[in-house]
Amino acid sequence: MTDLIFENVRLLDPANGLDTLGALLVRDGRIADLGRSIGRPEGAKVIDGDSAILCPGLVDMRAEVGEPGGEYRETIASAAVAAAAGGITTLAALPDTKPAIDDPALVRHLRARGEETGSLTILPYAAATKGCRGEELAELGLLREAGAVAFTDGARAIGSARMMRLILSYARAFGARVVQHPEEPTLAEGGAATSGELATRLGLHAIHPAAEALMVARDLRLLRMTGGALHFAHVSTGEAIGLIRAAKADGLDVTCDTAPPYFDLNETAIGNFRTYAKLSPPLRAEEDRLAVVAALADGTIDAIASDHQPRDADDKRLPFAQAAAGGVGLATLLAVTLAQVHGGAIPLARALGLLTAGPANVLGVKAGTLAKGAPADLCLFDLDAAWQVEAGELPGRAQNTPFDGRALEGRVIGTWKAGRRVFG
Contacts of 244 (CB under 8 A, 6+ apart): 216, 220, 232, 235, 254, 256, 300
219 an active-site residue? no
For the CA atoms of 323, 326, 331, 336, the dihedral, rounded to the nearest 10 degrees, stands at 110
3 state SS for 78-101: HHHHHHHHCCEEEEEECCCCCCCC
Does residue 218 contact residue 243 with C-beta atoms inside 8 Å? no
Annotated catalytic residue, options 307, 315, 377, 404: 307
The rounded distance, in Å, linking the Cα atoms of 346 and 355 is 13
For the chain, the first-to-last Cα distance in angstroms comes to 19
Residue 54's alpha-carbon distances to 4, 25, 87, 306, 402, in angstroms, are: 14, 12, 11, 20, 28
CA atoms within 13 A on the CB side of 221: 7
Single-letter amino acid code for the residue at 170: Y
Phi, psi at 338, each rounded to 5°:
-65, -20
What single string gives the DSSP state of each residue in 146-197?
HT--EEE-TTS----HHHHHHHHHHHHHTT-EEEE----HHHHTT--EETTH
**Residues with catalytic annotation?**
307
